[in-house]
Amino acid sequence: MLRIAVLASGGGTDLQSIIDACERDQVDGKVVLVISNNPDAQALERGRRAGARAVFIDHRKKKREDHEKELAAEIDREKADIIVLAGYLRMFTKYFINKYKFKIINIHPALLPKYGGKGMHGLNVHKAVLDSGDKESGCSVHFVTEDVDAGPLIAQIRVKVMPGDTPETLRDRVLEQEHILLPAVCQLFFL
């Protein structure tokens, strides 16, 4: 069984897609740990309901590496096989990335390498896609490296940009595909 740790800063809908896929036996695994840097993140409650340990680890007033050592202690305690960043709004240092090389994946709401990097999250991404006039968007899962959103791609799903799309309508359609793609990529780690 694949032991999955998920780091999330917000609502945790991508986390829920993994939990649901595990319960439906689409992923041969279990979410064993959910960590958030936001004490009010709904992701923590989603994790608790699924039987995972749910831990808040505050990043404020700490050196980056000290915060990452706290994360690593929890991840190692649960013997996680894979670390999924599902809307975790923190960048990592060499320490964390090298400790878990090719074990950390991230879901991004665009077709990388376009619309990635610092500041490209949430509605910012979808607004940038619409402002560009691109005819398609989508989501990407990639390995995490020191360069933000620049790690090797694992998989993508494309989504058409529709006439009259707003950042919110495009976000909603991309998010539906994230909920398909992310669990499918998690299953690849079991194979």
State the residue for tokens 């975790």.
88
CA atoms of 90 and 93, how far apart (whole Å)? 10
Return the active site residues: 108
Cross-strand partners of 2: 29
Do 75 and 33 touch, CB atoms closer than 8 A? yes
